[in-house]
């Protein structure tokens, strides 16, 4: 098993799941096919949430892997933050600027009004809720996960600073996240309440745990029987999500568990190959750019000029074009301008 290839494959699969989910959500927003098929399509959208969970797990794993042999202290903590900032911010700045430019000149999102505070917070990946009730998402909506990424990087840098980023880091961060979650119930800030109440952040810790115990996990899941059992568990979780609406608040935990199980299934595979592996390389660019293609699809769907069969075809085209645009962004921008300055590929996006 080549761990790096498995992680890249997971990145590709997670990115594709998000693209599929956003494409399907656009379709279901404007077309109701009715019956059981409508239930399936609406719940397939939730696959994107599983993909985001996989990204967070990858991030925790990669951060542990790349720092396991590094000593603590302010110097290494600073280097860690610098490398992560160089990795995630530049291309995010570029595509955020493209989106803001298209909005400013009236090409897209004409009904939206963005305050200067919202724009600044979006660029800096800061959680922001305006008095008008804007949600915590930045203008480039996919960036909400990067806000949590940035917060996790700061927390992990704190572990490096005090030389606690190895085995004890799992317990320290878990306790820290739990404390913040509890405190969020008592603060008056809606931003803090919204930001710290989400449980996705614990998946970073899961990734750290998997890294520390990967040898035991590989031993436990190396037999065909255990892998078939894990696959059946994946199918079971996928089936449960079809009843997502009836599960209420408990549905999110099914998504988290599905992300963990899927991660383990691919991570412990002896060999991965194919085009999904290549998508893993461009996954960050794909994650940031696919929204532009999805918006074009939404315009077509909203026009009402297309029937269900044609919208399905256009949905498939949207998916393919999004992948192509992501690959172009990766090859022309990400790889040429950014990889030269960063030694670490994006862990989660």
Give the pLDDT confidence of 256-315 residue by residue, as tens digits.
898 999 999 999 888 888 899 999 999 999 999 999 999 999 999 988 888 888 999 999
Neighbours of 295 (CB within 10 A): 16
Name the residue with tokens 């999004």: 322
What is residue 134's predicted lDDT score, i.e. its pLDDT? Answer: 59
Quickly list DSSP for 299-341.
HHHHHT-S-HHHHHHHHHHHHHHHHHHHHHHIIIIIIIIIGGG
Rounded to the nearest integer, the mean pLDDT of the chain is: 87
Question: Residue 179 and residue 191: Cα distance in Å, rounded?
Answer: 16
What is residue 204's predicted lDDT score, i.e. its pLDDT? Answer: 96
What is residue 298's predicted lDDT score, i.e. its pLDDT? Answer: 93
Residue 317 near residue 49 (C-beta atoms within 8 A):
no
- Count of CA atoms in the C-beta half-sphere (13 A) of 220: 11
Quickly list DSSP for 191-255.
HHHHHHH-STTHHHHHHHHHHHTHHHHHHHT-SHHHHHHHHHHHHHHHHHGGGHHHHGGGHHHHH
The answer on pLDDT for 122 being more than 60 is: yes
- Backbone phi and psi for residue 31, each to the nearest 5 degrees, phi listed first: -135, 125
pTM (predicted TM-score): 0.91
| 154 confidence band (pLDDT: 50, 70, 90) | very high
The answer on pLDDT for 320 being more than 80 is: yes
What is residue 264's predicted lDDT score, i.e. its pLDDT? Answer: 93
Question: Residue 277 and residue 282: Cα distance in Å, rounded?
Answer: 9
Residue 166 near residue 71 (C-beta atoms within 8 A):
no
What is residue 113's predicted lDDT score, i.e. its pLDDT? Answer: 85
The answer on pLDDT for 130 being more than 70 is: no
């Amino acid at each position: 098993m080549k761990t790096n290839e498995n992680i890249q494959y997971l990145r590709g699969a997670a990115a594709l799941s998000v693209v599929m989910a956003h494409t399907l959500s656009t379709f279901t927003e404007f077309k109701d096919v009715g019956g059981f098929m409508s239930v399936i399509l609406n719940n397939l959208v939730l696959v994107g949430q599983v993909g985001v969970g996989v990204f967070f797990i990858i991030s925790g794993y990669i951060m542990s892997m790349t720092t396991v042999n590094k000593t603590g202290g302010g110097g290494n903590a600073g280097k860690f933050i610098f490398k992560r900032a160089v990795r995630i911010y530049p291309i995010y700045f570029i595509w955020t600027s493209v989106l803001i430019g298209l909005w400013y000149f009236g090409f897209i999102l004409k009904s939206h009004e963005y305050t200067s505070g919202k724009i600044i917070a979006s660029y800096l990946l800061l959680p922001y809720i305006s008095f008008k009730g804007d949600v915590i998402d930045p203008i480039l909506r996919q960036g909400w996960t990067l806000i949590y990424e940035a917060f996790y990087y700061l927390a992990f840098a704190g572990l490096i600073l005090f030389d606690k980023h190895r085995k004890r880091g799992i317990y320290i961060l878990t306790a820290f996240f739990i404390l913040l979650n509890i405190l969020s119930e008592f603060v008056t800030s809606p931003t803090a309440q919204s930001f710290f109440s989400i449980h996705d952040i614990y998946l970073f810790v899961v990734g750290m745990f998997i890294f520390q115990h990967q040898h035991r996990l590989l031993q436990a899941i190396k037999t065909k029987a255990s892998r078939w059992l894990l696959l059946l568990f994946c199918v079971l979780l996928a089936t449960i999500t079809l009843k997502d609406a009836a599960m209420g608040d408990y549905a999110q935990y099914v998504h988290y568990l599905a992300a963990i199980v899927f991660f383990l299934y691919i991570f412990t595979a002896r060999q991965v190959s194919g085009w999904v592996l290549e998508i893993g390389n461009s996954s960050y660019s794909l994650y940031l750019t696919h929204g532009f293609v999805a918006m074009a699809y939404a315009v077509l769907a909203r026009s009402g000029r297309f029937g269900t069969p044609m919208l399905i075809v256009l949905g498939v085209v949207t998916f393919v074009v999004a992948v192509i645009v992501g690959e172009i962004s990766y090859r022309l921008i990400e790889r040429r301008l950014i990889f030269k300055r960063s030694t670490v590929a994006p862990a989660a996006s």
